[in-house]
Structure 1
Amino acid sequence: MTALKILILGVVCVQLSCGREFSTLNHIRSKTPSDVQSTAAADLIKRVIGVRASDFLVSVDPSIGPKNRDTFKLVSSGAKLSITGTSGVAVAMGFYYYLKYYCGGQFTWAGQQVALPTVLPVIASPGKVVTSNDQFRYYQNVCTVSYSFAWWDWARWEREIDWMALQGINLPLAFTGQEAIFQRVYMAMGFTDKDLESHFGGAAFLAWARMGNIHGWGGPLPQTWMDAQLILQHQIVTRMRSLGITPVLPGFAGHVPAAITRVFPQANVTRLGGWSNFHQNYSETYLLDFSDPLFSKIGGSFIKAMEYEFGVDHIYNADTFNEMTPRSNDPAYLAAAAKGVYNGMLAGDTQAIWLMQGWLFMEQGFWKPPQIKALLTGVPQGKMIILDLISELYPIYARTESYYGQPFIWCMLHNFGGTMELYGALDKVNGGPSAGRSFPNTTMVGTGLTPEGINQNEVMYEFMNEQAWRPGPVNLLDWIDSYQKQRYNGGNKFTSVAWALLKASVYNSTSGHMDFNGVLYTRRPSLLMKEYIWYDPEQLYQAWDNMVLASTTPALGNNTLFTYDLVDVTRNSLQILSSMYYHDIIAAYNTTNTSQLQTAGQKMVDLLSDLDTLLASDVHFLLGTWTEAARQFSLDVNDTILYDLNSRNQVTLWGPTGQIRDYAAKQWSGLINRYYKPRWQLFVDSLVNSTKTGIPFNNVKYDQDTFSTVELPFSNDHTAFPTTTTGSSVDLAAKFHQKYRSETKSKFFSQFPRKSDRTSAFSKQLARQWGRALA
């Protein structure tokens, strides 16, 4: 049976796997007139496929499906295709379903393959009808706004909102511009600009300032930034609403400027504990007591100010204790805390719904069942939605009696810090959402994406978003073959095998992936480092073999999604070689073999140079894309200095002295040559000096030297990095494949899981048939 037939048969049973519905959430839906949504959906389709948009007839009719679940209907009307949806986002979802499974296309972060057949495939009457399983399809982690969205302009936001709608997302965060609203509220209460300078975080660190983890670091936040972000937020929420998407606006969580002790001397405030080794100058944020009358005053004023500025959708996000320990574990205190936050929302909106990330409950030392239950039941049932933030690995609903009756959304977190390692748990995502819906007394009301950073592992997000309408698990091998065909305009036998191997290796994590940065070369070197390789490396290398073979086909060599994936697979294949070279370096040092140490060290440095060269061939892997996007907000040299610090520091030191060093590490051209490689060169040179002098390597001195000579200078640098590519991705992938493939046969890799399957054998057979000798 073909993958298409499996998909079409699957949607017939979609209503058999629907989630729970809460009458308390009935008002969380679009209020935009159907004709406006229809026009917005038609405009979106035109942005995606241009003049061919005239081949589609679009209409919005809420009556064609269940009240709180989106439905779309596809049916041919002469030579055109008619798409009817219960909302604009349902129409967009229907269009994308047709684009993928009838026309073999794809629209992703890295680009699109949207070439339509001259004659559109026919869907005969009565047509294809698909209904979502749940009320909500959520998007974003509160950290995504900083790790990935920090420097976006309207053009980038417009494309992302198009992507959201195509993926069926109807409940995303809309956090842009909130500092301008807080500024308005606080200054009306007597605070000054100076008071807020030390409260707001820098542009690249706003996510953590908003959660009270830090304050002031990366600032002060320019007024021009706040004003520009306010304008941008208007564009964002207007476009979202026009498509029938409900934006989640911010609420007041209780974190206040330190100057509150001056402005309101009688205010009942405490200081939260420190966070991630930040000094109190940038941490230990003031928290207003939930019972203090000021709490409702600030919370209500903030929401009313937002309603005045942007209108109202009645759903707000607030995270008071995210990665912060409450001052008391008394259930009564925690229940009062929840009630206080919610009452602050009610003071501004009597129909408020509180959306909260469930990440804090991962910390089981403090958050035991009585504490969790107290916090959740401090809010009336059905008036709070919990994001089960990492359901694919650690579903909290399963150990909290489905959040003690509060509705929750089953989320795939997947990524930390926006790092770029090829990784996924396809099997867990395949069955997880349907298991959540069938859980005893389930309160599941949706599915969601909650990555800390995007622009990586696109296959995982395409697959996860389909869980919004799938009735249950599918044959993953069939699905992934369908995926690569959509991506590469049909692909070929080599891409088919490559993706089967990727599915069996890097996307087959079964034990959980909580190593926040498992990429060895992006971490500051030391004598004791461990790699994290959960798969058979040879399967990844055989996937690389097949991608390189496929690249010789002109149609693929000119396909931007294919070349992006070719660079990505080549990058990851070279990346894990750094683990082998590191082990060779340490072995040589331990035996005081200076010659072998120098050889191994040079291999590591050469590998990093080659990685930088490879990544320079694709615009998605350029440091300059990130740093120059930050600079666009500069009006003078002071702005440039500030935004340079923010953009460079976040992806390296993450703090004034490396408080969260290398957490948001990116594998980008420019970052490798200017940051990672000098650290490794200094490490190797230090070890060589130790073997020559007989003086043991001093790790403390090395750390001090690398901070002062590499890391801090880079964070404070103002060098402009290229924003245009250099070299051919196809040629460079082939060059480095020829150079390094023999290295992958080392005994070093035999220690990792070895898996033999028919795919690996077929991969070798294909290589022989192609007539090329792969190392």
Structure 2
Amino acid sequence: MRFTVFLLGIALGVAPGIAKGETAIEALARRVLKERARDFRFETLTAGDKDSFEIEAVGDKIVIRGNTPVSQASGLFEYLKDFGLCDVSWTGSQVALPKVLPKPASLVRRATLFDQRYYLNFCTFNYTMSFWDWRRWEKELDWMALNGVNLALAGQIGQEAVWQRTMTRLGQTDEEIRQFLPGPCFGAWWMMGNLQGWGGPTPAWWISRQVELEKKILKRMRELGIEPVMAAFYGNVPSTLKGHYPESQFVSTGKWFGYERPDMILPNDPLFAKVAATFYEEQRNLFGDAKYFAGDPFHEGGVAKVDLKATGGAIERAMQEARAGATWVLQAWGNNPHDEMLAGTTPNRTLILDLRGEAGGQYEKRNAFGGRPWLLCTISGYGGKNHFSGWMPENAQGSFRALSAPGMRGIGAMMEGTEVNTAVFQMLFDLVWRDRAPDIEDWCANYARRRYGRECPEAEEAWRIFARTVYSLPKATGAQGQPESVLCARPALDIRSTSTWGTTRRSYDVAEFLTGWAKLVEAARTLGGSQAFRYDLVDVTRQALSDIAQVQHWRMAAAFRKRGTAGFERESTKFLQILDDMDKLLSTRTEFMLGTWLSSARALGKTKEDRDWLEWNARTQITVWARGGDSADLRDYANKEWSGLLRSFYRPRWARWIEDRKKELGGETPAEIDWFAWEIPWTKGHELYPTTPQGDSVAEARRIFRIYGKSKVS
């Protein structure tokens, strides 16, 4: 074994980033641990053909060895979790190491069975990250390295500039460019070829801002050894381009929920290669070299009368001409990627992301994609919804089961929204350094200890219950994502889903989950000072209220069907009270406040016009999403149980419906409500919402438990 030694000598008070003389892992340790980083020493391990790390106590230092910066970061996190009872999280970190560091009794060595660990979905960049600044991105990149991520989608940020330059060189006008580029909350679907221009027009300052942010992100990723996945050119172009090239061959790719998709250039047309070369050149000029490029022709129903095999071959050739040895990254989602298109590509120059690991993935049905390299991923967090649940057993067992399939290279987290269900994704990336699936109950109990920094029997029992209930959802089939909240649904007597493709069905024992809630409330006596615990207490209490609200909705609907005015008045009042109580609870944490989302959007604007545009994007995405009409199915896809949103949008919507039902019971025939017309004014509003917590989380959770803790849910 050979290794190179790096001593960590860091002065206090150094600004974030990498100081002179530091390595990337040393800088990461300083950002995470502050002055305690000097207790660690990092060495480069060069033995073995698999990513690996070692942990050893040498003198008064904890020595972390790894063959890459990501492996070193993973070794550091392993020590913090297993020996230091620490946690680094999206939702409340605690790194309070003891004065004297615990020392491993012997050398700890881990090697991974998963060569590639992928991170991020196109949608994540909008459902969560639309308004992130560099400070927030820096924390995310550290989290990625600590969790072993070595391959991540990065090319979405700054793509407006790539296309602006490409279109300009192709002779398109400023107005055509403005019509094509998306708004800050809708870039994902533009990148995936679903739409053009929605959320725009995009001002020049935003394009410049995104370029500078992307450069910082890519620089840090490369320092940490995380391979960035950039955007691929796959034949889609602005519909206005055909007016400049009348001799070339373009085909329509259809519509996506009413939105016109970009056109596609036929693969044998010389313009295809010209546009591809221009695109890759402009992307490289702005952001440097890359090995991986992601892009999916025909995503979610896109159709075009093209030779699929020739199209696959043309996309690959253009990519290889731009960057020899490049890998084309594709999503296995729906019918994509088409086998006919794959037949035109070189197997070892593709990497397929099998998205729905929680549903078993596609690899078994598709013969492991013919042995091409692929990763088993999990989506979860559809639309960034904040339901407290997940598929831990399926993710854990399925990941190791898939290792025996030809071409399997690793695992990935492709959540549509982050900052929810932290435990699900920490467990997923914990698998990287294991050789078998963990017992989920034991894992969750250990997670509670390190998350809160101490032992607490009540908290550990609560998490064991969560492991058996909300975090052990059965293999996902049919509906997308976790169970949804009726509070966020368009009002009706019967509600089977809140969003078009979701479900409100609870596939776990709600009564047992509420027992776990009671245990967590009890644990507040011991853990009430922990910010991570306070976040979890609010989140679990929110979920308990959401589950109770579903039962209360059934009672309200039953009272209406009995045609009893007094009964409906009583049950509807109780239903609205749950909305009020949840809103008050969530106002105690900034993570659950509408004001946090809206203020982060407006803060980026240069002028009032800019700020209003950003706010409209932010409001539209989480409510109506689209423009109505033939795109109405997208409404409420990104629904959130947030304080402010409950109070100003969901509650008035339910109250409006309840008043009509009362009129109906009184013998009137109220007109059918045009919900889109009712909802759209909210997206254009500018009301201010709090951005600082209101009240005490523990006190509010206890108050709610006293009211609802003995609710009957069966």
Give, in whole Å, the separation in 2 of the partners of 1:266 and 1:201: 28
How far the C-alpha of 1:636 sits from its partner, in A, is 1.0
Give me the whole-angstrom Cα distance separating, in 1, the residues matched to 2:324 and 2:439: 46
Which residue of 280, 290, 299 corresponds with 1:322?
Answer: 299
Is the Cα contact below 8 Å between 1:296 and 1:347 reproduced in 2? no
> Match of 1:159, SS?
helix
> Are the aligned partners of 1:321 and 1:360 in contact in 2 as well (CA < 8 Å)?
no
The residue number in structure 1 matching 2:395 is 429
Structure 1 Cα separation of the partners of residues 97 and 236 of structure 2: 51
What are the equivalent positions in structure 2 for 1:229-244 lying under 5 Å apart?
229-244=210-225
Aligned partner of residue 707 in structure 2, secondary structure: helix
Q: Name the structure 1 match of 2:231.
A: 250
Distance, in Å, in 1 between the alignment partners of 2:699 and 2:517 is 14
Query: Is this contact kept in 1: 2:382–2:480, CA < 8 A?
Result: no
Determine whether 1:188 maps to 2:169. yes
Please give the residue correspondences for 1:300-311 in structure 2 after superposition, counting only pairs within 5 Å: 300-311=277-288
1:458 aligns with 2:441: no
Q: For 1:166-565, list aligned pairs within 5 A.
A: 166-174=146-154, 175-276=156-257, 278=258, 282-328=259-305, 333-361=307-335, 372-439=338-405, 442-512=406-476, 514-516=479-481, 518-530=484-496, 531-553=504-526, 556-565=527-536
Whether 2:59 is the aligned partner of 1:78: answer yes
The correspondence for 1:140, drawn from 117, 120, 142, is 120
For 2:411 and 2:653, how far apart are their aligned partners in 1?
Answer: 42
Which has the higher mean CA deviation after the structures are superposed, 345-354 or 639-648?
345-354
Cα-to-partner distance string for 1:223-275 (whole Å, 9 max, x where unaligned) = 11110000001100000101111111111122211211211112211112221
Partners of 1:376 and 1:406 within 8 A in 2: no
Deviations 1:152-186 (A, max 9, x none): 00000000000000001010111211110111111
Deviation of 1:303 (Å):
1.6
Larger displacement relative to structure 2 (663-672 or 512-521)? 512-521
- Residues 537 and 649 from structure 1, CA distance in 2 versus in 1: closer, same or farther, beyond 3 angstroms? same
Q: Deviations over 1:519-558 (max 9, x none)?
A: 11111112321331111111111111111111122xx111
Q: Give, in whole Å, the separation in 2 of the partners of 1:479 and 1:135.
A: 23
Q: Distance in 1 between matches of 2:357 and 2:22?
A: 34
Q: Aligned AA for 1:488?
A: Y
Corresponding position of 1:29: none
Question: What is the CA distance between 1:391 and its match in structure 2?
Answer: 1.6
Q: 1:660 aligns with which of 627, 631, 634?
A: 634
Question: Which TM-score applies when normalising by structure 1?
Answer: 0.86
> Which one-letter code corresponds to 1:551 in the other structure?
A
Amino acid at match of 1:338: G
Matched, 1:691 2:659: no
Q: Give the whole-Å Cα distance in 2 for the aligned partners of 1:299 and 1:128.
A: 48
Query: Match of 1:485, as an amino acid?
Result: R
SS class of match (2:42): strand
1:708 alignment counterpart: 677
How many residue pairs match? The answer is: 684
Superposition deviation, residue 719 in structure 1: 1.6
1:49 aligns with 2:33: yes
Code of the aligned partner of 1:312: D
Question: Alignment partner of 1:105: what SS?
Answer: coil
Instruction: Please give the alpha-carbon distance, in whole angstroms, between the structure 2 residues aligned to 1:135 and 1:300.
Output: 31
Work out the percentage of aligned pairs sharing the same amino acid: 32
Which segment drifts farther, 107-116 or 565-574? 107-116
What amino acid is the match of 1:693? G
What amino acid is aligned across from residue 631 of structure 1 in structure 2?
R
What amino acid does structure 2 have at the position aligned with 1:557?
G
Higher relative contact order structure (alpha carbons within 8 Å, sequence separation ≥ 6):
1
The residue aligned with 1:623 is 594
Which deviations, in whole Å up to 9, do the C-alpha atoms of 1:273-303 show, x marking residues without a partner?
Answer: 2212x2xxx4233222222222222222222
Is the Cα–Cα contact under 8 Å of residues 142 and 207 in structure 1 kept in the other structure?
Answer: yes
Gaps of 5+ in 2: 1-17, 497-503
Give the Å deviation of 1:64.
2.4
- Contact 2:183–2:198 under 8 Å retained in 1: yes
Specify which of 654, 657, 671 is matched with residue 680 of structure 1.
654
Mapped to 2, the partners of 1:708 and 1:374 lie a distance apart of 44
CA distance in 2 between counterparts of 1:716 and 1:512 reads 36
**Residues 499 and 183 (structure 1 numbering): CA distance in 2 closer, same or farther, change over 3 Å?**
same
2:689 aligns with 721
Q: Secondary structure at the match of 1:398?
A: coil
* Aligned counterparts of 1:591 and 1:163: Cα–Cα separation in 2: 54
1:198 aligned counterpart, secondary structure: helix
- Structure 1 residues 37 and 504, CA gap change in structure 2 (3 angstroms): farther
Task: Write the deviation string for residues 344-371 of structure 1: whole angstroms up to 9, x where unpaired.
Answer: 212311221101111133xxxxx6xxx8
Offset of residue 38 of structure 1 = 6.8
> How far does residue 37 in structure 1 lie from its aligned partner after superposition?
11
**2:84 aligned with 1:103:** yes
Distance 1:397 1:179 in 2: 34
The separation in 1 between residues aligned to 2:229 and 2:117, in whole angstroms, is: 12
1:341, CA displacement in angstroms?
1.6
CA distance in 2, matches of 1:462, 1:533: 24
Paired residue type of 2:196: H
Kept in 2: contact 1:342–1:354 (CA 8 A): yes
Which amino acid in 2 is paired with 1:341?
Answer: I
Cα separation, 2, equivalents of 1:113 and 1:483: 12
Distance in 2, matches of 1:430 and 1:55, equals: 33
Distance 2:388 2:513 in 1: 10
**Would you say the 8 A contact 1:373–1:404 is kept in 2?**
no
What is the CA deviation profile of residues 75-128 of structure 1, one whole-angstrom value per residue up to 9, with x for unaligned ones?
Answer: 111011111111111111110011001111110101211111211122355x21
Deviation at residue 683 of structure 1 after TM alignment: 0.8
Q: Counterpart of 2:569?
A: 598
In the other structure, the counterpart of 2:6 is none
**Contact 2:589/2:693 (8 A) holds in 1:** yes
SS in 2 for 1:466: helix
Whether the 8 Å CA contact 1:96–1:167 is kept in 2: the answer is yes
The equivalent residue for 1:737 is 705
Amino acid in structure 2 at the alignment position of 1:534: S
Give the CA deviation at 1:392: 2.4
Please state whether the residue corresponding to 1:248 is helix, strand or coil. strand
* Alignment root-mean-square deviation, CA: 1.8
SS of residue paired to 2:554: helix
Deviation, 1:494, is: 0.5
